A and B are shown apart, each in its own frame.
Chain A
């Protein structure tokens, strides 16, 4: 990595080479400008379809460019670009796909025009910037770069939560989110400065970074890491930094809640994975595993127990999101390559199921002007397809066959079992049993919307009139979940584990 230090020509050559691995981000930057400029042209401004179509094209081309990066990945030996700021390896690309997919899910949701919330061209502009932040975060390996990306995403999240000023809860949610978010960012920044002070470097893959942390015997390194983790836990919605999510989700429209639940939340996971690689085989490993396992168990229980008493679907999904963070972290605690493959697969299925649930939720919210499950009784009969799609997505989140959630859940249990088998410590058994117990717990509330929608007969919403159910966006995710639940996945899993191994710091 030192070849460009102090050598201007070398640096320029390196930067030029780096740009070649920066295609999707560069394109998206340009496209954001296009979106911004077109939105000020009066004729286009009046046409509501132009921003939607432009945004869709942007996401599509970005996806193609990222897909192209998979091909170049096979031939490269170097992964760090922009002087150690950005890394383009298998993990990065998979998370880039996740980012694009979550943006696509939100874009799908905006296709159904909602009376209450008008999607202006600014919304799509924000969405693209959010996508850019997530793409950058997937590859960020420098503490400052990570912080910058997290801030891009945070700013967009603040803007989006405050975007619809009409419902008062929305404003409240925005203020809450902003205050909590900025405090956690500040703590995280403090953690970064401490980490820099201890190790003398900001690059997390620099051997000096972890060496510096280990050789510092005091509590300072642990404190710094914990401070650093606060910001991540806030984005991941892990206990004890989860409290904001139900209030914020409840205050914003479903599409924006979906952005918070599927975008930043999932992409922040990549940083946790990269950090978990650092601790492998170091004296800090067992402490790290214990900490993550404890957070995982707490998140699972907190999320699922909290969700049991929720009457609003958005709050329910927020709590279910907390529980899912717990499942993810339980796999990170294992620190095995197989657990990582399982994690990525689980994350993908979560993305599908959660986006699908939010899409169906946004449609039902549009039909009935509420997300109170109690008020939805019997509307399964009026809107059978949308309601069935919600039920399928929730069943997938709960891990019921024949949806893909079933295998994802089993695949999650296998590494946990293996871990317990290999080192029979109480914590691994506790982790395994809490995942099992929580699966049961969760199904109670995942079924509660189904109960309301289909089992009770008389509709309580009187002002709901039968409107055309716009099916393609609503049924895309459930169909994908069912197909993935049935087809043989051997090749997909094999491909995923090979891709994940590319460029990963050796275990």
Chain B
């Protein structure tokens, strides 16, 4: 079922070439809605009924097996699955992608062929990235996001679209090279218990059943004693074997005496912590966090509205999800080592993002910087590596997806009417556009972290996690709480400028154009607004989906 979910939009590829352009948007919308129906109708009820502990609906096929000669085999699997770490992200895809598809009405009919072609590929890559249960497959989809996104920003963007697209591409690619290096090291250091057991003839019972802890321990012991020769070891990229942990919190399928074993050092530094740092940098570029954030405001300003929505609501989440899945998943010990640095980076992102947002006149740039600030909370929550912090970070990832999508759509509403995003050009918009004002205020208040709206819960849990972690310094704890004040400052300033006072615009002719929301704008904004309210009041709707599984995943107190 998950493969169907991932690859459904590929049906569209031949369709976009033959269909008349006016049907493209509807065709694409149908496909994304079908995907959402699979997620909401097929996956969620089951995820709610049973405890979503470890990977469900796994599909696992050996894809490529490379011989390493005397070092055994290198196995790449096509393996997808759903668990407590990615269930929220898949749900977010199911919500955002149809909305972004529907919001693509401003794309000209002349080149909509290419647009929906690229959107379909992007769609496949995003679902694939979140559902992949194999590091290699994850990386493949992660890379595959780049090319369609590059063209989508570069062709349908604003004035400086080409340099923005290139900057986005090269930044992310630079990060992915660090990830690639660690991925190869991971591939060398973790074994596949089932395949290895099959190779050396250890009975493992039914092939379909998941290998128990006993099997993993047994094989690890045999390798350590030299009873299994290196040429019989099948090395794997799969995430799901790693969920059995030993006393140190390390995955049980780590090969003793491999590159990533605890004792290995390079010039006096532990290789595990170097590898963690490389992964961290790779994903921080995507997240993005200060000091790797400079591509984001540029990309956002140039991208068309639906692409901005996908960029903010889903692509940034790939960074956060990737960190939790790979960096924290493979190197929980190193995560503790770098705790201070990570929390520092998170804090700087929160504050610096907020200060930059305070200085912006362009609404889209302001929202982009506020995204950086919000992503700082995610990092801070991860740095407090315990239940509260990580739960908060995951809620923050999801809720920021909802709120940033509506913020970018709202900026798009004004931009569609006047082709101007400078907040100083407008005054007193509440009078001609009351509904727009209502939606904007709701999104602004949510983004500020007002209690009762969704962002608040995530930030609160992150902060409580931080305060419950004695290893983090007091300065970080105290300064982190001030982040909310700054975000209130720039959102209130924008509110003040845009909505209060008498109705006035920079150019007289715009007054005609500034009409209230049309029906299709209602359609895209209303679901997001409802979710903002609903998830603010009932956050347990989300936490139910993943908290049981997540607590297995974290170091036990």
A227 and B166 CA atoms in complex are apart in Å by: 43
A454 and B165 CA atoms in complex are apart in Å by: 13
A341 and B188 CA atoms in complex are apart in Å by: 18
In the complex, which of the residues A401, A444, A493 contacts B64, with contact meaning CB atoms closer than 8 Å?
A493
Is A402 on the interface with B (CB-CB < 8 A)?
yes
A493 and B62 CA atoms in complex are apart in Å by: 14
Chain A residues contacting B166 (CB-CB under 8 Å) are 444, 447, 451
Contact B184 A444 (CB under 8 A): no
Is B144 on the interface with A (CB-CB < 8 A)?
yes
Within 8 A of A (CB), among B262-288: 266
Q: How far is the CB of A374 from chain B (nearest CB, A)?
A: 13
Chain B residues contacting A338 (CB-CB under 8 Å) are 66-69
Is B151 on the interface with A (CB-CB < 8 A)?
yes
A444 and B74 CA atoms in complex are apart in Å by: 30
Q: How large is the interface on A (under 10, 10 to 19, 20 to 34, 35 or more residues)?
A: 35 or more
Is B295 on the interface with A (CB-CB < 8 A)?
no
Contact A414 B174 (CB under 8 A): no
Nearest A residue to B143, CB-CB: A401
Interface hub of B140, B147, B162 (most chain A Cβ within 10 A): B147
Contact A401 B140 (CB under 8 A): yes
In the complex, which of the residues A336, A440, A456, A489 contacts B173, with contact meaning CB atoms closer than 8 Å?
A440
Is B146 on the interface with A (CB-CB < 8 A)?
yes
Contact A400 B188 (CB under 8 A): no
In the complex, which of the residues A336, A337, A413, A455 contacts B151, with contact meaning CB atoms closer than 8 Å?
A455
Nearest B residue to A491, CB-CB: B65
Contact B66 A414 (CB under 8 A): yes
Contact B161 A436 (CB under 8 A): no
Complex interface bits, B142-166 against A, C-beta within 8 A gives 1, otherwise 0: 0110110011001100000110011
* Chain B at the A interface: SS class: helix
Within 8 A of B (CB), among A401-460: 401-402, 406-407, 410-411, 413-414, 417-418, 421, 424, 432, 436-437, 439-440, 443-444, 447, 450-451, 454-456
Q: How far is the CB of A435 from chain B (nearest CB, A)?
A: 10
Chain B residues contacting A400 (CB-CB under 8 Å) are 143-144, 146-147
Chain B residues contacting A447 (CB-CB under 8 Å) are 150, 166, 169
Q: How large is the interface on B (under 10, 10 to 19, 20 to 34, 35 or more residues)?
A: 35 or more
Contact B181 A490 (CB under 8 A): no
Nearest A residue to B187, CB-CB: A414
Beyond A413-B180, A440-B177, A488-B63, is A451–B154 a contact (Cβ under 8 Å)? Answer: yes
Nearest B residue to A424, CB-CB: B266
Chain B residues contacting A439 (CB-CB under 8 Å) are 177
Chain A residues contacting B181 (CB-CB under 8 Å) are 432, 436
A411 and B146 CA atoms in complex are apart in Å by: 21
Within 8 A of A (CB), among B320-340: none
A451 and B167 CA atoms in complex are apart in Å by: 13
Beyond A337-B69, A440-B170, A447-B169, is A406–B155 a contact (Cβ under 8 Å)? Answer: no
Interface hub of A395, A411, A488 (most chain B Cβ within 10 A): A488
Chain B residues contacting A489 (CB-CB under 8 Å) are 64
In the complex, which of the residues B144, B161, B162 contacts A402, with contact meaning CB atoms closer than 8 Å?
B144
Contact A418 B140 (CB under 8 A): no
Is A45 on the interface with B (CB-CB < 8 A)?
no
Q: What are 9 pairs between A and B in contact, CB < 8 Å?
A: A338-B68, A407-B64, A413-B184, A414-B66, A432-B181, A440-B177, A443-B169, A444-B170, A456-B162
10 tightest A-B CB contacts, nearest first: A455-B154, A490-B65, A401-B144, A401-B140, A417-B184, A436-B177, A401-B143, A338-B69, A488-B63, A489-B64
Chain A residues within 8 Å of B, Cβ to Cβ: 336-338, 341, 381, 384, 395, 400-402, 406-407, 410-411, 413-414, 417-418, 421, 424, 432, 436-437, 439-440, 443-444, 447, 450-451, 454-456, 488-490, 493-494, 497
